[in-house]
Amino acid sequence: MTVDAHVHVWDITGGKFHVEYDWLTETSDVLYQSYTLDDLEPQLGEHEIGALVLVQASDSLAESHALLDAAATAPCPAGVVGWLPLHDPDRTAAELTRLRQPGFAGVRHMIHRDPDPAYLLRPEVSRSLALLAEAGLSFDAVAETLELLAQVPVIAAEHPTLSIVLDHLGKPPIAAGEWQPWADLLAAAAAPPNVVAKISGLATVSGPGFTAADWQRYVDHALEAFGPDRLMVGGDWPFTLTTASYSEVWRATLGTLAGLSPSDRSTVLSGTASRVYKLPAPAGIFHSHSEGVSA
């Protein structure tokens, strides 16, 4: 079984929760449309996806509720990484009480889009991160710049009991074929034992027609730095559709893991995500409704 630990859904009409995605108007026509799990469902069985993690794409409480609603009717077990107003610890504490329900596994803020590049380092945000740790929730760090990647070990040291998930391996410079300073910053982020990382989002930083070979040394570096028990995988759908299909992403991802032992491969594909996000065990490998569900 594979856990797709990075999936987005959104409704550009606002939907019943009235979620706004202002940044979507600045993106491609591929992304500026609504995406639901019904659109993704037919492809899950093909890749033996047995569980999902739905990740926020709007810094809004409305979307947290929309994601929980989507997870409740998902075709397989699904956790949610939602949003909380981390810059306001009192509000964060109050909203934690309202949002704590099965499936709410973690929190993310779009730090890569926040006008304050030091958002994560604010004292008030640190107090909120402490609340997440106390609640047993994780924090997804979408550290897509070198400056943000350098902040990951800082907050990890401040909050040693908080599970911090580095999204997209910190966006390695694959298309340019570059290595430093990303490689050293990734190793520094991996040094604290409470940081894990996602092999995800690599298609959008790759050149056209990428293959597993284009990703291999970056993934190998992550494997060396984190080890299999602190790595997970994600399809980054539908963002990936700007450059590649869901199937192309999974072919490349699985290709980079081909050299692992069966045990280590299983850990990266499902074990780490299941542990960090406290996902319920699926009854079996998911297939589309037309195929049924195996025992």
pLDDT at residue 109 is higher than 50: yes
- Residue closest to 50 by CA, chosen among 2, 112, 101: 2
Percent of the chain with pLDDT over 70: 95
Is residue 202 within 8 Å of 170, Cβ to Cβ? no
Reported confidence tier of residue 280, pLDDT bands at 50, 70, 90: confident
- Residue closest to 80 by CA, chosen among 161, 164, 7: 7
Amino acid at 30: V
Tokens 């809004």 belong to residue: 60
Q: How many CB atoms lie within 10 A of CB 247?
A: 12
Per the document, the length of the chain is 295
pLDDT at residue 166 is higher than 70: yes
CA distance 165 to 172: 16
Mean pLDDT of 135-143: 97
Q: Where are the beta strands (DSSP E) in 90-208?
A: 104-109, 138-141, 164-166, 195-199
pLDDT at residue 286 is higher than 50: no
Amino acid at 178: E
Residues facing 139 on adjacent strands: 107, 164
pLDDT of residue 242: 94
pLDDT in tens, 2-35: 999 999 999 999 889 999 998 998 878 899 999 9
pLDDT of residue 22: 86
CA distance 172 to 251: 19
State the chain's mean pLDDT as an integer.
93
Reported confidence tier of residue 291, pLDDT bands at 50, 70, 90: very low
Reported confidence tier of residue 292, pLDDT bands at 50, 70, 90: very low
CA distance 54 to 237: 10
Cα 77 to chain centroid, rounded: 16
CA distance 84 to 92: 6
pLDDT at residue 173 is higher than 70: yes
pLDDT at residue 288 is higher than 80: no
pLDDT of residue 283: 47
* 238 prior amide bond cis, ω within 30: yes
Which position has the higher pLDDT, 295 or 85?
Answer: 85
pLDDT of residue 287: 37
Virtual torsion, Cα 19, 51, 109, 249, nearest 10 deg: -100
The CA-based diameter of the chain, rounded to the nearest angstrom, is 51
Tokens 């202002």 belong to residue: 22
Radius of gyration of the chain (CA): 18
pLDDT at residue 86 is higher than 70: yes
Amino acid at 61: L
Reported confidence tier of residue 295, pLDDT bands at 50, 70, 90: very low
Tokens 């856990």 belong to residue: 3
Write out the two tokens for 100.
């704590």
pLDDT in tens, 89-107: 999 999 999 998 889 999 9
Sign of the Cα torsion 134, 161, 234, 2 reads: negative
Reported confidence tier of residue 235, pLDDT bands at 50, 70, 90: very high
Would you call 82 helix, strand, or coil by DSSP? strand
Is residue 143 within 8 Å of 166, Cβ to Cβ? yes
pLDDT of residue 282: 54
Virtual torsion, Cα 278, 35, 196, 65, nearest 10 deg: -50
